[in-house]
Amino acid sequence: MAPPPLHCPRCGRPAEGFEGCRSCASEGIGVNTPPPLADLTSHHLAVYPGGPWGWPGTLPTTGPPVTLGEGNTPNIRLRRELPGTQPSVGAGELWLNRGSSAERNAAMAQSVAERGWYPLTSYSSPSPGGNPYANEGYKSVAYELARDFAGRAIGAVVVPTSRADLLAGIGRGFRELAAAGLVAQMPRLVAAEPARSAPFTAALRCADRADQELTRVTDRPSVAFSLGEERPCWQGLDALWRSHGTAVAVTDDAIMAECRRLAAEGLIMEPSSAVAVAVARGPAVAPGELVVAVGTATGLKGLVS
Ligand SMILES: [Zn+2]
């Protein structure tokens, strides 16, 4: 069965390939082109088995799953303290070795064109975000959270954000759940960014959405080396708008302080994950509110002294 057709959610035009909407790109705006939302009305959260393949009918694909056993990541309760109590740690303790985004995009484009690679991430500019079919797997994060916190209203979900694939996928998952009446309300989504590369935080300072779409910042390397983008991918703005969410930038010092604090609690998270926890401890979350900070990768992939 062929995958469902893709359309631009911003301008409505049909789209092909993995480079987003070409019409919107000509305006300088990277817009991903997701498939239609799934209908969850016949689904029951209590028996959701978890993982991106837990409800295969919600994915724009058929055939046997290819999996390493993803999903059912445990939710770990953290003690929340007032901001300002973190120790200051120098950012120079993390080693960076990093090529430019342009070099990376060129390598990806060449691999797709000459070697027939199937792209699971973006390589065009302005970036629309990653492969719109693959991104549908991120919806399962929302399904799992709704299942695991059944009966409790999640106030906010904080997501480490660069091109906003995960943020947008979680947002789409909650939209499907809300449309089917499986959750009473959508949580606010909060994009957590390193201050040295924070296009969403910069964009949301603009009152007008048209100005937000065209925001551009300098992408400077940070300790959160998995994150970094010059422009706010439209899929992320859309997710923030729909959920009445926000974006928060965190300094390198605060990110590294959070890494240390998490390590003291037995959680080894890379700085690009710790940025979400740092935001969740801060003023973007209301006192007493149930907030989930999404961790995306282990700290063992980096070198933190
Ligand atoms: Zn468009």
Contacts of 204 (CB under 8 A, 6+ apart): 212, 240, 246, 247
Backbone angles phi, psi at 192, to 5 degrees: -100, 125
Three-class secondary structure assignment of 32-43? CCCCCCCCCCCC
Higher-pLDDT residue of 115, 63: 115
How many whole angstroms from 10 Cα to the centroid of ligand 1? 5
Structure tokens, 16: 């092909």
- The residues with which 160 forms a beta bridge, in sequence order, are 192
Q: Are the C-beta atoms of 114 and 123 separated by less than 8 Å?
A: no
How many whole angstroms from 15 Cα to the centroid of ligand 1? 8
How many whole angstroms from 22 Cα to the centroid of ligand 1? 7
**Residue 277, pLDDT score:** 96
How many whole angstroms from 90 Cα to the centroid of ligand 1? 43
Across all residues in the chain, what is the average pLDDT? 88
Question: What value does the CA radius of gyration of the chain take, rounded to a whole number of Å?
Answer: 19
Average pLDDT over residues 60-81: 84
Report how far apart, in Å, the C-alpha atoms of 210 and of each of 164, 191, 290, 304 are: 18, 19, 32, 40
Give CA–CA dist 256/222, Å, rounded: 11
Among 258, 71, 45, 80, which residue's Cα sits nearest to residue 155? 80
How many whole angstroms from 233 Cα to the centroid of ligand 1? 12
Average pLDDT over residues 79-91: 39
**Residue 288, pLDDT score:** 85
Q: For residue 169, name the pLDDT band (cuts at 50, 70, 90).
A: very high
Q: Is the pTM of this model over 0.75?
A: yes
Neighbouring residues of the ion ligand 1, judged by CB less than 5 Å:
8, 10-11, 21, 23-24, 31
How many whole angstroms from 32 Cα to the centroid of ligand 1? 8
How many whole angstroms from 6 Cα to the centroid of ligand 1? 11
How many whole angstroms from 114 Cα to the centroid of ligand 1? 27
Average pLDDT over residues 106-130: 88
Q: For residue 96, name the pLDDT band (cuts at 50, 70, 90).
A: very low
Q: What is the residue extent of each domain of the chain?
A: 45-55+77-99+136-301
Angle between helices 165-179 and 234-243 (to 10 degrees): 40
Residue 181 clears pLDDT 90, i.e. is over it: yes
How many whole angstroms from 234 Cα to the centroid of ligand 1? 10
Residue 52 clears pLDDT 50, i.e. is over it: yes
CATH among 3.10.129.10, 3.30.465.10, 3.30.1360.120, 3.40.50.1100 for 45-55+77-99+136-301? 3.40.50.1100
Among 90, 97, 48, 107, which residue's Cα sits nearest to residue 72? 48
Average pLDDT over residues 190-194: 97
How many whole angstroms from 248 Cα to the centroid of ligand 1? 27
**C-alpha of 206 from chain center:** 21
Residue 89 clears pLDDT 80, i.e. is over it: no
Contacts of 166 (CB under 8 A, 6+ apart): 138, 141, 159, 160, 294, 296
Least confident of 52-56, 169-173, 202-206: 52-56
